[in-house]
Amino acid sequence: MTYSDKDSMDDLNLPTVIPVDENYGRFSVLEEEDRDASSAYSVASSAYNFRMENGRRYHDYRDGHPFPHDEVSEENEITMHEMCLLILDNKYYVSPIEEPTLRAVADIGTGRGYWAEGLADKCPDAQVVGMDLTPHSRNILPNCSYMIADATEEWVLDDPTMKFDLVHIRSLFGGVKDWHALYKNCFDNLRSGGWIEQMEVEIDAQTLDSDTPPDSNIKALCEYTRSHLSVAAGRDFDISFSMKKMIEDAGFVDVQEKRINLPLGPWSSDSKMKDIGRFYERFYKTGLQGWLLQVCTRELNWSVDQVNAACIKAFREINERKQHWYYPLVIVIGRKP
């Protein structure tokens, strides 16, 4: 076969005259918003300020975030993402919405954007907006955009008329100062009939064993986190305990809660639970130091060595493969009436 310009051009499958979308018009809005410092397109430069502390990288935008943002935290995020896909049989959410009907979806505290990007890929007719305090380098999809913003403040969307069918929140524990403000924003930015869905691991190690060592660091760290870290950080590490009530208080109806136990390690005889346990062990091991380090060293007078020693002790307990720990994953969904 010989190369022909004409043939290769014909293969491109593009119209010669570009058809116009009658609904197009939001660029005039963007021009207006571009003058506004809070627009998604004119991000405050402080969002790009990072600092190294005790070998981890943090950002300081809008008061910062007590957890690091670096390669280790990205591994932690992708592990959570893959674990949730396994738990939900490759579904991205449990709210009763047919995927083909999704048009607008928000992912709050999107992080690296694994969930937002995956859903956008699955649902090409949906516009997915990922919102986070922190900039990340992410893959680009035509129907997935990101905004750097504090989700507890007013949401300045590129399209101010946009109302979401689904607002998804996952693993935001320890990050948010004002949950009431966040849930109010979710409510205000959903369309009537739209769903909020939140998933959080409960920081409460439970065990099947009757002979749990009284000096277990896994258990002690949970208790210490719940009793001290939330207060010291001014952010709720315990949100899984209160999110159902807070979501109801924000005006959502048909609020339901589901709890799934995550084995810490591959100790289950069920093959799916075994894999979940592998993921959860990795999530715990890639997360623990980051959850503790800043709050313990800055607010609670721990040394870095003390934090690291506590983590190593907890990891050794897992590696001994004797105990059967599990943590509940709590999923709450609610509908805007």
Which residues contribute to the site for ligand SAM (CB under 6 A)?
65, 77, 80-81, 109-111, 114-115, 131-134, 150-152, 170-172, 175-176
CB of 6 to ligand SAM, least distance (A): 47
Extract the tokens encoding 149: 């913003």
Asked if 58 contacts 65 with a C-beta cutoff of 8 angstroms, the reply is: yes
CA 199 from centroid of its chain's CA atoms: 8
For the bound state, the minimum distance from the C-beta of residue 114 to ligand SAM, rounded and expressed in Å, comes to: 5
Shortest separation between residue 22's beta carbon and ligand SAM, angstroms: 34
The residue to which tokens 């939001």 are assigned: 26
Residue nearer to ligand SAM on the CB measure, 175 or 263: 175
Smallest separation, CB 37 to ligand SAM (Å): 17
| Smallest gap from residue 76 Cβ to ligand SAM (A) | 7
The CA distances from residue 198 to 94, 180, 212, 229, 284, in Å, are 10, 14, 31, 21, 19
Q: Give the distance, in angstroms, between the CA of residue 125 and the centroid of all CA atoms in the same chain.
A: 22
Nearer to ligand SAM, 121 or 254 (CB): 121
Query: Of 267 and 291, which has the nearer Cβ to ligand SAM?
Result: 291
Determine the distance from the C-alpha atom of residue 175 to the mean position of all C-alpha atoms in its chain, rounded to a whole number.
Answer: 10
| Residue 76 or 323 having the CB closest to ligand SAM | 76
CB 122 within 8 A of CB 87: no
Residues 6+ apart with CB under 8 A from 47: 59, 61, 133, 134, 135, 148
Least Å distance, CB 130 to ligand SAM, is 9
Q: Which is nearer to ligand SAM, 65 or 285 (CB)?
A: 65
DSSP-derived secondary structure for 181-207: HHHHHHHHHEEEEEEEEEEEE-S--EE
Nearer to ligand SAM, 173 or 326 (CB): 173
